[in-house]
Structure 1
Amino acid sequence: MHINRYGKIFSKIISISYFITVLFISQYFGVIQFNLKPSETKGEIPKQFEETKAALQEQMEKPMIALTFDDGPNAQFTPKLLEGLKQRNVHATFFLIGENIEQNSNRNLVKQMYEEGHLIGNHTYRHLEITKLSDEEAYEEIKSTNDLIESIIGKAPEYMRPPFGSWQRNLEKKMMIIPVLWTVDPLDWTTENVDEIVNKVVTETKENDIILLHDCYNSSVIAALRIVDLLQAEGYQFVTVDKLLLN
Structure 2
Amino acid sequence: MRTHLLFPSLLLLGSLSLTAACSSGASGTPDPAPAGALPGSTSGTAPVMTVDPSKIKGLRIVNDSSENTSCPFAAGYPDVTGAEAMTAAMKKDVDGRLATFRSACDDGGGAGDVGELNISHQFLVASGDVLGVRLTTQDHSAAGSGLSVRTYWYDGRAGAYRTALGLVDDGSRDAFVSALKKRLKGREGTDADTVDEAFADPSNQTTILDDMVYTADGGLRVTFDRGDVGAPAAGTYVVTFPRATVTPWLSAFGKRAQQQTVRPSGPLDLGAAATPTPAVPTHTASGDDDTDCEKVKCVALTFDDGPAVPETATLLTHLAQYDARATFFTVGQNVAAHPGLVRAEARAGNEVGNHSWSHPDLTKLTSEQVAYQLNRTSAAIKAATGKEPTLFRPPYGAVNSTVRGATKLSPVLWTLDTEDWKYPDAAKVAQSVIGKVQRNDVVLMHDIHATSVAAVPEILRTLGARGYHFVTVSHLRATM
Same fold (TM over 0.5): yes
Give secondary structure in 2 for the equivalent of 1:175.
coil
Q: Which amino acid aligns with 1:225?
A: P
1:238 is aligned, of 464, 467, 470, to 470
> CA offset at residue 157 of structure 1?
0.6
| Structure 1 pair 175–233 and aligned structure 2 pair: CA distance change class (3 A) | same
| Structure 1 pair 191–58 and aligned structure 2 pair: CA distance change class (3 A) | closer
- State the match for 1:77 in structure 2: 311
Q: Which amino acid aligns with 1:90?
A: A
| Structure 1 pair 57–69 and aligned structure 2 pair: CA distance change class (3 A) | closer
How far apart in 1 are the matches of 2:381 and 2:422?
28
More strand by share: 2
Per-residue CA deviations over 1:36-78 (Å, capped at 9, x if unaligned) read: xxxxxxxxxxxxxxxxxxxx79886221110000000001111
Is 1:200 the counterpart of 2:425? The answer is no
| Structure 1 pair 57–89 and aligned structure 2 pair: CA distance change class (3 A) | closer
- State the match for 1:61 in structure 2: 295
- State the match for 1:98 in structure 2: 332
- State the match for 2:384 in structure 1: 152
Aligned length: 193
Give secondary structure in 2 for the equivalent of 1:72.
coil
What is the 5 A alignment of 1:10-49? Answer: none
2:415 is aligned, of 183, 188, 192, to 183
TM-score, normalised to structure 2, is: 0.39
2:450 is aligned, of 200, 203, 218, to 218
Q: Which moved more, 1:66-75 or 1:182-191?
A: 182-191
Unaligned runs of 5+ in 2: 1-10, 14-289
How far apart in 2 are the matches of 1:74 and 1:127?
15
> CA offset at residue 168 of structure 1?
2.7
- Contact 2:430/2:456, CA 8 A, preserved across alignment: yes
- Contact 1:122/1:159, CA 8 A, preserved across alignment: yes
- State the match for 1:108 in structure 2: 340
Unaligned runs of 5+ in 1: 4-55
- Contact 2:367/2:405, CA 8 A, preserved across alignment: no
> CA offset at residue 211 of structure 1?
0.5
Is 1:128 the counterpart of 2:360? The answer is yes
> CA offset at residue 240 of structure 1?
0.1
> CA offset at residue 185 of structure 1?
0.9
- Contact 2:355/2:374, CA 8 A, preserved across alignment: yes
| Structure 1 pair 192–148 and aligned structure 2 pair: CA distance change class (3 A) | same
- Contact 1:189/1:214, CA 8 A, preserved across alignment: yes
Give secondary structure in 1 for the equivalent of 2:324.
coil
Q: Which moved more, 1:221-230 or 1:171-180?
A: 171-180
How far apart in 2 are the matches of 1:100 and 1:174?
22
Q: Which amino acid aligns with 2:304?
A: D
Q: Percent identity?
A: 34
Q: Which amino acid aligns with 1:244?
A: L
> CA offset at residue 172 of structure 1?
3.5
- Contact 2:308/2:448, CA 8 A, preserved across alignment: yes
- State the match for 1:33 in structure 2: none
Select the structure of larger CA radius of gyration: 2
TM-score, normalised to structure 1, is: 0.74
How far apart in 1 are the matches of 2:292 and 2:399?
37
- State the match for 2:186 in structure 1: none
Highest RCO, 1 vs 2 (Cα 8 Å, sep ≥ 6): 1
Per-residue CA deviations over 1:118-169 (Å, capped at 9, x if unaligned) read: 0000000000000011111111000100011111111211001100000133
How far apart in 1 are the matches of 2:331 and 2:369?
15
How far apart in 2 are the matches of 1:190 and 1:208?
24
How far apart in 2 are the matches of 1:128 and 1:200?
26
